[in-house]
């Protein structure tokens, strides 16, 4: 989106329980963490997408 909040675009959907976000503008990536279940299942994750919505390499 633009700095004024206009031109918003959804780049990722269906995240489990996202609880952290980082944007690397220079590299063109968005990173986020998923908390996972509250029980001891070890199902949390760190994921990445390109700023344009692609899944990257």
Residue 55 pLDDT level (bands cut at 50, 70, 90): low
Please, are residues 10 and 18 in contact by the beta-carbon 8 Å criterion? Answer: no
Report how many helices (DSSP H) and strands (DSSP E) the chain contains, helices first.
Answer: 0, 3
* Residues 9 and 52: beta-carbon distance below 8 Å: no
Task: Name beta bridge partners: 49.
Answer: 30
Task: Please give the DSSP secondary-structure letter assigned to residue 1.
Answer: -
For the chain, what are the domain ranges? 1-57
User: Which residue, chain included where needed, has tokens 């963490």?
Assistant: 33
pLDDT in tens, 6-20: 998 887 777 777 888
pLDDT 10s digits, 25-47: 999 998 998 887 777 777 888 88
């Amino acid at each position: 989106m633009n700095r004024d909040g206009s031109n918003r675009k959804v780049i990722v959907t269906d995240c489990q329980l996202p609880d952290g976000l980082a944007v690397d503008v220079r590299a063109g990536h968005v990173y986020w963490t998923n908390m996972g279940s509250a029980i001891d299942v070890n199902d949390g994750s760190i994921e990445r997408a390109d700023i344009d919505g692609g899944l990257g390499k």
